[in-house]
């Protein structure tokens, strides 16, 4: 009896989300017929979609030569509880056409969110996550790089950890176990260590690898973390941890689990250039100012404003 009631509630919740979904699609994607095609098929796939409780965001910018559709297909076919949302981040090559063609192979499990202009990885992940949170019933949501530098096997391990340990956020780590198969260039390893030290000083959490491109959140946490735009296009992971601290305060690390990934491969064609890397220290300082210093300055300013004699007299 209890199971039947829960099933009815799930169906009603799903139908409600579909109605909002149709409205939001017209607002965000008036020219994307692929979205409407998936809508018509999703309605008769209610039972199947209710079980798809895990969503993966895959940001894509000029990835036409790097998308591993065979691996995407194999994963979808063998994991019925997952759905994929590819975010086209204003690509100038054939990425969007390839994604639209791929979606037709499984419209009920594959979504395409098209951003006409390039907004950077941070905004692509944020927009894709918010779209899935608003228009599907996923309970856990995370993201992977389009080149699958971190693969699906490791991602599902992170997702399983989130569920089994009842965590709010689970992150992949390339630094927990040195013996794992982690393939990185000397330059990127050195740069990572330097940036990592700065990040630890800013974030103030005992996390070894903040920048691994595989993270998963439960629904409530994701709604908070992705609510507002990020300040940085590439270092938004740092902002995620700062937002986690704001949400969970002193108990933050009780809600986060860092899990060693078994493999990570540095794939050629990265969109982060040497010039971008040289800007990272400045961007980190900007993040530190916006999140850690500016709020304190504003608080002091407000206190001083309240102590202003002219204001006190005016209030009286």
User: Do 208 and 61 belong to one domain?
Assistant: no
Q: Which stretches of the chain are assigned E, i.e. beta strand?
A: 54-60, 82-89, 110-115, 140-143, 169-173, 181-183, 215-218, 256-260, 263-265
User: Do 178 and 283 belong to one domain?
Assistant: yes
User: Do 211 and 120 belong to one domain?
Assistant: no
User: Do 163 and 126 belong to one domain?
Assistant: no
Q: How far apart are CA 127 and CA 130, in angstroms?
A: 5
Q: How far is CA 235 from CA 14, 163, 196, 207, in A?
A: 34, 27, 11, 15
Q: What are phi and psi of 142, to 5 degrees?
A: -155, -170
User: Do 69 and 156 belong to one domain?
Assistant: no
User: Do 12 and 141 belong to one domain?
Assistant: yes
Q: Is the whole-model pTM more than 0.85?
A: no
Contact 56, 144 (CB under 8 A): yes
Domain end: 147, 182, 210, which one?
Answer: 147
Contact 50, 16 (CB under 8 A): no
Task: List pLDDT tens digits, range 224-271.
Answer: 999 999 999 889 999 999 999 999 999 999 999 999 998 867 666 566
Using the Cα atoms of residue 32, residue 131, residue 151 and residue 273 in order, give the sign of their dihedral: positive
Q: Which domain holds residue 29?
A: 1-147
User: Do 219 and 92 belong to one domain?
Assistant: no
pLDDT of residue 76: 96
User: Do 111 and 162 belong to one domain?
Assistant: no
Task: List pLDDT tens digits, range 65-86.
Answer: 999 999 999 999 999 999 999 9
Q: How far apart are CA 213 and CA 225, in angstroms?
A: 16
User: Do 163 and 135 belong to one domain?
Assistant: no
Total count of domains within the chain = 2
């Amino acid at each position: 009896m209890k199971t039947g009631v829960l099933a009815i509630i799930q169906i009603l919740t799903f139908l409600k989300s579909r109605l909002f979904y149709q409205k939001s699609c017209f607002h965000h994607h008036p020219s994307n017929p692929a979205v409407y095609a998936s809508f018509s098929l999703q309605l008769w796939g209610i039972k199947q979609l209710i079980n798809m409780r895990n969503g993966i965001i895959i940001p894509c910018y000029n990835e036409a030569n790097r998308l591993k559709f065979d691996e995407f297909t194999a994963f979808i076919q063998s994991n019925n509880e997952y759905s994929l949302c590819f975010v086209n981040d204003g690509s100038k090559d054939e990425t969007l056409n390839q994604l639209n063609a791929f979606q037709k192979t499984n419209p009920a499990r594959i979504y395409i969110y098209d951003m006409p202009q390039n907004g950077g990885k941070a905004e692509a992940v944020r927009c894709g996550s918010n779209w899935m949170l608003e228009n599907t019933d996923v309970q856990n949501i995370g993201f992977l790089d389009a080149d699958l530098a971190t693969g699906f096997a490791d991602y599902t391990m992170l997702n399983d950890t989130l569920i089994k340990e009842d965590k709010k956020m689970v992150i992949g780590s390339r630094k927990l176990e040195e013996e794992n198969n982690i393939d990185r260039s000397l330059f990127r390893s050195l740069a990572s260590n330097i940036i990592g030290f700065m990040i630890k000083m800013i974030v103030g959490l005992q996390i070894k690898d903040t920048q691994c491109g595989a993270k998963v959140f439960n629904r409530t946490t994701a709604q908070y973390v992705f609510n507002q735009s990020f300040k940085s296009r590439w270092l938004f992971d740092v902002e995620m941890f700062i937002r986690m601290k704001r949400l969970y305060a002193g108990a933050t690390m009780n809600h986060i689990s860092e899990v060693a990934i078994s493999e990570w491969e540095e794939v050629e064609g990265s969109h982060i250039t040497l010039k971008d890397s040289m800007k990272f220290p400045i961007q980190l300082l900007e993040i530190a100012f916006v999140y850690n210093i500016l709020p304190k300055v504003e608080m002091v300013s407000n206190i001083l404003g309240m102590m202003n004699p002219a204001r006190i007299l005016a209030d009286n």
